Amino acid sequence: MKKLNFYDQLNAATLLLVSPEWRKVKAARQSAVSFETPDVTIPTEIRTIAGRNIRLAEAGPADAPLVVLLSPFPESILSYTGCWEALTEKCRVIAIDLPGFGASEGDRKDMSPSAQGAHLAAIFDELDLQNIHLVAPDVGMAAALAYVLNHKHRVTSLAVGHGLGAPGPFKLAFMVSMLAKFGFMRFTTGLLGAGPLIAFTSKLGAIRNRANAKQIDDYKRAYSGRAGEVVYWFKDFRSRAKELAVRLKEIEIPTLVFWGELDVMFDPSNAEHLHAALPQSKLQILPEAGHTSWADQPELFADMIIDWVASGHK
C-alpha cells in the first residue's frame, strides 16, 4: 500500500512554509476536532465509455433520484467515502473520475474545462443518464459549467463549489496562483510528482478530515507518473475561468453553490460572486470546512445534497 513518504512530506512542508495561508489553516486545524475518514468500501469499477477507460462507482436504490459526483484533484472519487453511505441510502449515486483525473484514462489534452465538458456529454450520453443532479466540486465545477453551457445537457440541477468559473476578483491561494501564472512552477511540480502535491493539499485543503490509508494509496496510485500531465489543468487558469464567468447568466438550471468557510485555496468570496451571477442559485457555506468541504463535513454535506435533491432545487 502506497503512503505519503518522507520525500512527500518534506516537499509539502517546504511548500507550506512559503504559503501565507498556512498559518490560518494550521491554527484552524489545531483547534478543530479532527477525524480520520472511516473505512467504507466504494464499489469502483473500470468501464470503457466513449472509447476511454473510466473509473466509476454506483450504488443506491435504482428508483431514487440520480446524483452524479465528479472527482476532485489531487484526490479521486474515494474522497467521497465519508458521505457515501448517507448519500446512497437516499439517492442513486454514480461517482465518476473525470478523464485524466483519479483512475480514469487521460492526458494533458484533457486538461481544460471545454475538454472535460465534452467528455461529460459523451459519458452521460453513452450511459443514457437522465434527470441528473450533478455535484461537482474543485475541477468538477469547471467541467460541469462547461458541460451545461456548451452541450445539450441532461441535468436537472447543479451543485458546484471550490473551483474556477466565478466572476469578479478570482481570489486563489498563493501556490495555486503560481501554478496558474508560471510554466516553470507547473514543470517543477510535475517533476516532484504526485506525492508532495497530495500531502500539500491534504494539509492546506482540509480542516477536520484526515484521509485514511486506503484513500492515500488510491490517490498516489491514480497520479503516479502523470503529475506532469495533470498540472496542465492550471495553464491559462484565469483566462479559462473568465470564459466561463462571462456566460454564467446563461445557466438557468437551479444551482446550489457550496463552499467551505475556511477554504484558502479558492477563497469563499468566489462563492459569493458565483451565487450573485447565477440566475437561479442558493448559497451554502459549510462551517469549519476547508477546500475539501465534503470530506471535512461529510454529514452536513450529505444532508445538504439530499435536501437539495428532494426539494431544495424546486
Three-state secondary structure of 27-68: HHHHHCCCEECCCCCCCEEEEEECCEEEEEEEECCCCCCEEE
Model pLDDT for residues 174-225, shown as the tens digit of each residue: 999 999 999 999 999 999 999 999 999 999 999 999 999 999 999 999 999 9
* Cα-trace Rg, the chain: 18
CA–CA dist 90, 60 (Å, integer): 7
133 in helix, strand or coil?
Answer: strand
User: Per-residue pLDDT for 155 more than 90?
Assistant: yes
User: Per-residue pLDDT for 13 more than 90?
Assistant: yes
CA–CA dist 267, 81 (Å, integer): 25
Model pLDDT for residues 229-285, shown as the tens digit of each residue: 999 999 999 999 999 999 999 999 999 999 999 999 999 999 999 999 999 999 999
Task: Give the torsion through C-alpha atoms of 6, 11, 12, 18, to 10 deg.
Answer: 150
- CA angle 88/306/75 to nearest 5° reads 60
- Mean pLDDT computed over every residue of the chain: 97
- Of 96, 95, 92, 97, give the one whose Cα is nearest residue 66: 92
45: which strand partners?
56
Model pLDDT for residues 58-104, shown as the tens digit of each residue: 999 999 999 999 999 999 999 999 999 999 999 999 999 999 999 99
Give the mean pLDDT of 16-35.
97
Delimit the domains of the chain by residue range: 6-312
CA–CA dist 119, 107 (Å, integer): 13
CA separation (Å) from 168 to 15, 67, 142, 165, 273? 27, 30, 16, 10, 6
**Confidence class for position 293, pLDDT limits 50, 70, 90:** very high
Q: What is the pTM of this model?
A: 0.97
CATH number given to 6-312: 3.40.50.1820
